[in-house]
Amino acid sequence: MTVSHYPVLLKEVIESLNPLPNQNYVDGTVGLASHTIEILKRTSPQGKVLAIDLNKETLKIAKRRIKEKGLSERVIFAQGNFAKIAEIVKKFRFSPVKGVLLDLGLSMFLIKESGLGFTFQKNEFLDMRYSPKETNLTASQVLNSYSFKELAEIFSSFGQEKKAREIAEEIVRQRKKEPINYTFQLKEIVERVYGFKRKKRIHPATKIFQALRIYLNKELENLKEGLKSSFAILSPGGRMVVITFHSLEDKIVKQFYLEKKRKGEGVIITKRPIKPKYQEIKINPPSRSAKLRVLEKI
């Protein structure tokens, strides 16, 4: 399986972490491993990376890509939730930790190849779970069983969707006719509410798919726990690098960093978030919303 992959802010991530020979790092969202590979190149001969990912298939691809580079001996792979980084680090006795990377973007594998309904470009079953181990609830079950009020709240809170109530109302209306189980059904419902005809830069269903994904996988709760957990395992002078992709995530990261600064526990390295340059956005349009923030532990 070949998945075209463009790591977001790769140069900026490496500059921010500044990996040196024999240092250890944690990649809490290893994805397709491009960031990890670059870290490993700079931490030889004995530096290691603890590579964590929630999705089993994504982790398999990461293992294969790292093996192809001949770097497997210095990587520990773990399927798990980055919200529990401290537990995973303890389990593998992985220390000291000089840096932690959390790239909160959705990997190209999950979007294009997983078949889990993360995209409305293909007609797939609306699953949207990163891992069945984390929850039994699918996006399809949410759409077919939640009340109008609950759906509207999800779309408004997690998608910041201005037509949340109208879309929830249309979903409730349509599911009386037939269950909403597939991505194209949901896309068409949103298009109907918007009277969508011509192609826009951002499809109106984008926020609805985002909201369902964030809600279902408890992404914001996991981020809050993951930040605390990551900071706890960092060595003094170690850095936390987080890449966010929407304002809800970025606000959580920004507030966490400010709290650590206020308590005298950390130094904010990025006065303003680092964003992709024009050249990167041109090659990889989804990177346009990325923001990178860096915190150094005192």
pLDDT in tens, the chain (298 residues): 444 567 999 999 999 999 999 999 999 999 999 999 999 999 999 999 999 999 999 999 999 999 999 999 999 999 999 999 999 999 999 999 999 999 999 888 888 889 999 999 999 999 999 998 899 999 999 999 999 999 999 999 999 999 999 999 999 999 999 999 999 999 999 999 998 765 666 799 999 999 999 999 999 999 999 999 999 999 999 999 999 999 999 999 999 999 999 999 999 999 999 999 999 999 988 889 999 999 999 9
CB 85 within 8 A of CB 222: no
Entry field: residues in the chain: 298
Residue 146: both structure tokens together: 């939640």
Tokens 């790239």 found at? 103
The values of phi and psi at residue 36, to 5°, are -60, -45
Q: Which CATH class is domain 10-110+219-297?
A: alpha beta
Each domain of the chain, given as residue ranges in start order, spans 10-110+219-297, 136-216
**What's CA 72's distance to the chain center, in Å?**
24
Residue 38: both structure tokens together: 């670059």
Let me know if the fold of 10-110+219-297 is the same as that of 136-216: no
Q: Distance (Å, rounded) from C-alpha 199 to C-alpha 137?
A: 32
Q: What was the pLDDT predicted at 83?
A: 97
Q: Distance (Å, rounded) from C-alpha 294 to C-alpha 284?
A: 22
User: Domain 136-216 carries which CATH code?
Assistant: 1.10.150.170
Global confidence as pTM? 0.93
Spell out the SS3 assignment of the chain: CCCCCCCCCHHHHHHHHCCCCCCCEEECCCCCCHHHHHHHHHCCCCCCEEEEECCHHHHHHHHHHHHHCCCHHHEEEEECCHHHHHHHHHHCCCCCEEEEEEECCCCHHHHHCCCCCCCCCCCCECCCCCCCCCCCCCHHHHHHHCCHHHHHHHHHHHHCCCCHHHHHHHHHHHHCCCCCCEHHHHHHHHHHHHCCCCCCCCCCCHHHHHHHHHHHCCHHHHHHHHHHHHHHHEEEEEEEEEEECCHHHHHHHHHHHHHHHHCCCEEECCCCCECCCHHHHHHCHHHHHCEEEEEEEC
Any residues with CB less than 8 A from the CB of 33 and at least 6 apart, and which?
Answer: 27, 51, 61, 62, 65, 66
- Say if strands 49-53 and 25-27 run parallel, antiparallel, or are unpaired: parallel
Q: Distance (Å, rounded) from C-alpha 16 to C-alpha 254?
A: 16
Amino acid making up residue 15:
E
